[in-house]
Structure 1
Amino acid sequence: MNTFRVLKTAVTDVAATTTHQPGATTTAAAARTGVLNLSKGFTLHTPNFLAPTSRGVVPHLSPDNLERNTGVEGVFVALEDFIEKAPQRVPPLYTYPSPLRTFISLPASKFLVLSPRRSPAITCPKANSDANLSILTSVGFRDLPIKDYVSAVMRLEPDIVLSIADVANTVAPPGKNRVQKMLGRTEMWLDEVLKVAGGTGVAVFAPVLPVEKERQRMYLSHLVENVEKLSGLVFTNVEGVDVVPVELEGLVKLGSDVSVGPHQVLEMVGKGVDLFNVSFVGGMTDAGIALHFTFGGDGEGEEGLEMATDMWDVRFATDLSPLEEGCECYTCRVHHKAYIRHCLEAKEMTAWVLLQIHNLKVVERFFGDVRRSIEEGWWEEGRKRFEGRYKREMPVGTGSGPRLRGYQYKSVGGEGRLNEPAYRSLDSDDEGGL
């Protein structure tokens, strides 16, 4: 098992060991368990997950429901959610006299990860510069000065801060000159964060860029030189894990966006990733879909199963069974499918609250079984069984979800309204109007 400590990292009793040749620059990482100990007393057993937030809140859940009805231990918060009034007006976040966790009413038992941008981040039309990061706020695109993000680390007091990566806003692979800019800026911005975070107890996670290892060799060498100041690494894709030098293997590895589902999680766990920002959960909840996959169990003879169920389906209108038999979440203990489908049809927000509670419980149970499989020695067997049992693709919801926020869409032109009007004229003869 790995023991991760803030600012300095020690490795003890590795659960899934690999051998390294002298002078090797990368590792053949394997699934591993660990314990992340943060300076404020938070302890997290890994592999584990973070819940993404919208403006500091896990979608559909009030802080008391998050505390009482979920096993979420950490949340992923983006600074770009809060600074739409800058620079013309000081954002309320900066005038509030207490740290960020108090501002968003985060329960004391949850730890907070601060990122400059949401994950996945919406592509911005303007490129980054040495002094500014392009972001998308609730009122449009703007620049976030790097110095403002660095100062926010001191002011907002997160438990973990993600340093800034200069990732190109293009589909095509970046050219040689662009890669050099990416590496230079990312290294420079990391140094600024480390200067401020040093001695504060804030754990710093450095980004690993999504380019080939040879093209970022100098940057990775810089990370090795500063390994004693780092607590973790951040990855935006699976391939990035393969470029990590041996000297950095003791750091926590965070997958900043898991949008595909549990198959993507298992692929990254197999490469030694420890933490996951599970964005697919919120997407399923918004679509009115209930998750029901499990990692444990024998599963003999089962294959091609769906990992989730669309609760808009009319067959659930009179179904009085829980979302998942045997599930111990609040939703399954108290309510049934017919009630949840009724709430969806009525556009009652209780539907999404109950679905989010259940879906997070499914993910919590999944990660618990993954940890147990590594510790007990049946990880590889369990992974193969899971991959054979479940389809990789999640089902698509057939109903309309809750009202969408603009940043949930890709920034492309020519689209119509994101949401239908809530009211229409009674004089209109459209849709059978009077």
Structure 2
Amino acid sequence: MSDHHNDNTEMFALKAGRLHSGARLATLTLSGRNPIATPNYIAVTSRGAVPHIAQDVFSKDTKIKGVYMALTAYLQELKVIEKAPKETPPVFKYKPSDNASPLRRFVALSDNSALILGPRRVPPVTAPTSNTRTSVAIFTSVGFSQLSVSDYSDAVVKLQPDIVIGLGDIPVGPSSFSQKRSEAMTDRTTAWTPAQVKAIASGLKDRHPPVFFAPLLPLPAETQRWYLEELSGDSINGLAVYSTSTLDNLPEPLHRHPKLAFTEPESPQHLLRQIAQGIDVFTIPFITTSSDAGIALDFHFPATSIDNSPPRPMGVDMWSEVHATDLSPLSEGCTCYACTDHHRAYLRHLLAAKEMLAWTLLQIHNHHIMDKFFEGVRTSLANDSFDNDCQTFERVYEPRLPDKTGQGPRLRGYQYRSEGPGETKRNPTVFNRLDDVAAKVAESADTNPIADVKDVEATGFAEKSE
């Protein structure tokens, strides 16, 4: 696949740092897209869009360099009647007039932003069934299903993303695996990866195929040594990392590739540790999670240390009533749209009223904070002060993000897996039964003895007095 692209060294140009391991400064360049200075992040989408952010807002008020989209968001296996043929999802029928990526045009994504396509959402949902020899278990918007290697390759050919995350036998949920399961994961992924590369390149003979990021299994490098040696050729352009433990003892030839992490970091401190281990690009679920919780992120890198001061919180809970009359920005010195055009009191009002604009403003702000965070990381690496700056950040800020105290936007069925009978409701009850109100109304009914029309006639009607 690399024959259709510039040399991998040109696609991923290292500027500073060590090639074999550790934090490094580089630029990821994709044809027709804005270059991505690394370390950096890409935004996680839900059903084709960054949650709460419309595409015009995405282009105007954010500086997001790329987005990750899951194929499962576009897979539908609806059946009108039993044994009826499967319906083709609309995105697979769409043919742009300008010969651009059907997926890019379908979701109205800016041409400047990189489009990364993977098999599962981030974070993934645990499926009740296991992966098979030819497919993986997935959770779609209409239920659980199996995604085969051939179907995934065909979808990539049709949708034409900039980067495709290779399909690997990676179970969702467990953090450790038996020797037998580890061997099955390695054998299957070793067979699947070249099959995907060949199928995608064959299906896109007349145009540049996507950059292929091979999955690194969440196993120690020694356990998947055979698979890693197979990856050391020229058939891949990057690595998808699911566990940073895999980076220990990684074969030397693989370190030249960019590494995209699906490790679900829980805090900025986790990001810094993984940057130190050599991760170049991140998917960060806690950005949207914080926005949904009504938390405005508030941290900077490098951090400024103040002697004998307690650790600072890394976010502001906008549900707190103390913000009801506070006209200050969400974060002091922040230049995002939410902070320059609005204030805490307004956002607190929007949250209390459950206005959708509240979460839109929070998303704009929180993504801006992450933009500045990674900008600071790159500056620190360029100044060769990254290690010291990380230690200062650990001292200045609390080790975890603030807890959620308010109710976020209503959860939809496609956002989580049902746990079975008797589970608690994810959303609070909005409408309640009015039986008690009806009883009170009955008790206070009109006791006027006139109950028949004859009684009304006998009583007479009111007359207008002169």
TM norm structure 1: 0.91
Shift of 1:298: 3.0
Residue of structure 1 aligned with 2:323, choices 316, 321, 346: 316
Judge which range, 118-127 or 190-199, deviates more. Answer: 190-199
Does structure 1 residue 78 correspond to structure 2 residue 70?
yes
Shift of 1:258: 3.1
Judge which range, 294-303 or 326-335, deviates more. Answer: 294-303
CA-to-aligned-CA distance 1:366-418 (integer Å, 9 cap, x gap): 00010011011111111111111111211112110001133443553341332
Task: Give the 3 Å change call, closer, same or farther, for CA 34–433 of structure 1 in structure 2.
Answer: farther
Distance in 2 separating the partners of 1:374 and 1:303: 27
SS of equivalent to 2:67: strand
* Alignment gaps of 5+ in structure 1: 19-26
Residue of structure 1 aligned with 2:269, choices 260, 263, 280: 263
Residue of structure 1 aligned with 2:305, choices 295, 299, 308: 299
Does structure 1 residue 161 correspond to structure 2 residue 164?
yes
Residue of structure 2 aligned with 1:207, choices 212, 215, 219: 215
What residue in structure 2 maps to residue 179 of structure 1?
A: 182
Shift of 1:119: 1.8
Distance in 1 separating the partners of 2:103 and 2:273: 33
8 Å Cα contact 1:7/1:230 also seen in 2: no
Judge which range, 250-259 or 297-306, deviates more. Answer: 297-306
SS of equivalent to 2:17: coil
Residue of structure 2 aligned with 1:69, choices 35, 41, 61: 61
Distance in 2 separating the partners of 1:259 and 1:12: 25
Does structure 1 residue 149 correspond to structure 2 residue 147?
no
What residue in structure 1 maps to residue 357 of structure 2?
A: 350
What residue in structure 1 maps to residue 8 of structure 2?
A: 9
SS of equivalent to 2:387: helix
Judge which range, 408-417 or 371-380, deviates more. Answer: 408-417
Residue of structure 2 aligned with 1:397, choices 381, 399, 404: 404
Judge which range, 270-279 or 171-180, deviates more. Answer: 171-180
Distance in 1 separating the partners of 2:14 and 2:406: 49
8 Å Cα contact 2:313/2:398 also seen in 1: yes
Cα RMSD (Å) of the superposition?
A: 2.2
Task: Give the 3 Å change call, closer, same or farther, for CA 409–392 of structure 1 in structure 2.
Answer: farther
8 Å Cα contact 1:165/1:209 also seen in 2: yes
Shift of 1:133: 1.6
| One-letter amino acid matched to 1:241 | L
Distance in 1 separating the partners of 2:437 and 2:290: 35
8 Å Cα contact 1:6/1:38 also seen in 2: no
8 Å Cα contact 2:14/2:24 also seen in 1: no
Task: Give the 3 Å change call, closer, same or farther, for CA 13–189 of structure 1 in structure 2.
Answer: closer
CA-to-aligned-CA distance 1:65-121 (integer Å, 9 cap, x gap): 011111101001000011123672111111111310111111121110000001221
Shift of 1:8: 3.8
TM norm structure 2: 0.85
Judge which range, 56-65 or 288-297, deviates more. Answer: 288-297
Shift of 1:297: 4.4
Distance in 1 separating the partners of 2:281 and 2:175: 28
| One-letter amino acid matched to 1:9 | N
CA-to-aligned-CA distance 1:256-292 (integer Å, 9 cap, x gap): 1434021111011101110000111000000010001
Shift of 1:147: 1.2
Shift of 1:312: 0.3
SS of equivalent to 1:168: coil
Task: Give the 3 Å change call, closer, same or farther, for CA 372–154 of structure 1 in structure 2.
Answer: same
What residue in structure 1 maps to residue 455 of structure 2?
A: none
Distance in 1 separating the partners of 2:436 and 2:239: 57
Task: Give the 3 Å change call, closer, same or farther, for CA 192–315 of structure 1 in structure 2.
Answer: same
CA-to-aligned-CA distance 1:290-321 (integer Å, 9 cap, x gap): 00110024323245211001100111111111
8 Å Cα contact 2:165/2:213 also seen in 1: yes
Shift of 1:128: 0.9
SS of equivalent to 2:224: helix
Distance in 2 separating the partners of 1:170 and 1:13: 34
Distance in 2 separating the partners of 1:433 and 1:393: 52
Who wins on radius of gyration, i.e. which is larger? 2
Does structure 1 residue 126 correspond to structure 2 residue 132?
no
Task: Give the 3 Å change call, closer, same or farther, for CA 433–77 of structure 1 in structure 2.
Answer: farther
SS of equivalent to 1:39: coil
What residue in structure 2 maps to residue 30 of structure 1?
A: 22
Residue of structure 2 aligned with 1:115, choices 110, 114, 118: 118
